[in-house]
A = this chain, B = another copy of it.
Amino acid sequence: MSINEQIHQRFGIPTETGRTVPPNKTLSDILGRRSCRSYRPDPIPEDLLQTLFATAFSAPSKSDLQQACVIRIEDKVKQRRIAALSPHPTWVADAPVFLVWCGDSRRIRRLAEWKEHSFANDHLDAFMNAAVDAGIALQTFIVAAESVGLGCCPVSQIRDHINALSAELELPQWVFPVAGLCVGWPAEQGAISLRLPLEVTVHVDHYDDTELLEQVADYDHRREAIERTPPEKQRMVEQFGTTEEYGWSENRTRQYAIPARADFGHYIINQGFKLR
């Protein structure tokens, strides 16, 4: 499939974009990526896994501070306990490799004490920079792993029981989980997740969302045309009923109508962060 055809597939809209771009495996892998939740039992060679870690931590990091780390869960009993904290116990428990990517603001604070400098940046910026560094390393790992044919699925819902997760990982002050990641050789191909059109996500010179509702209504229709959500697959029908007009926006706003992870801020403060 050409780059142009892949962009058409990813956004669900015929497009001229990508027609002049020569074949490129990196672009093609990312444009065609899909989350994979079902893995063959074959192990991932240790040398390959270490290479993927080396690649992930080659990513840029804010001010070269390298405020990310990863916990690799080798203890399968622990992996099952962590999996049980999320609504997806089976495939998280069964992933051949399971990782938890964390923001790490601890290292720079310990080094400041060692070098006898005050740490004068104990505010929201420190928390955000560590979280973003972790997201960047996570995504770099995913791109690297998918480039060799592995399948990945990030799982943020392991944070649903944040204190239990943090205790399993023995996270000390100033370290916090951002997302889990399941990795393995794909047993089945997942689905391409259709993306919002670039008119919604790319702005020129200033932010402008005046056309948002029309754009999202069209997007909802494109997604439903590919994979319709029948009444029995709609979210929380006991609370919201069923509708013919279901779509991505209805699905996601139903999801966010229910509180989740309301204890996350409290946990982050307990981990030592100041959030002002």
Contacts and interface: CB of A to CB of B under 8 A. Distances in A.
Identical copies of this chain, number: 2
Contact of A254 (B117, B156, B198, B213): B117
A50 to B, nearest CB: 5
Interface in A210-268: 212-213, 216, 240, 248-250, 252-262, 264-266, 268
A274 B242 CA distance: 32
Interface in A198-217: 198, 200-209, 212-213, 216
A266 B123 CA distance: 10
Contacts of A18: 47, 50-51, 54
Given A111-B253, A132-B134, A260 B121 contact: yes
A203 B266 CA distance: 25
A145 to B, nearest CB: 10
Interface string A157-176: 00100000000111110010
Residue among A55, A168, A175 with most chain B CB within 10 A = A55
Given A58-B195, A114-B253, 19 more contacts: A7-B54, A57-B198, A57-B201, A62-B179, A66-B196, A70-B203, A107-B209, A108-B253, A111-B253, A114-B216, A117-B240, A117-B257, A118-B257, A121-B260, A128-B178, A129-B156, A132-B178, A169-B206, A175-B207
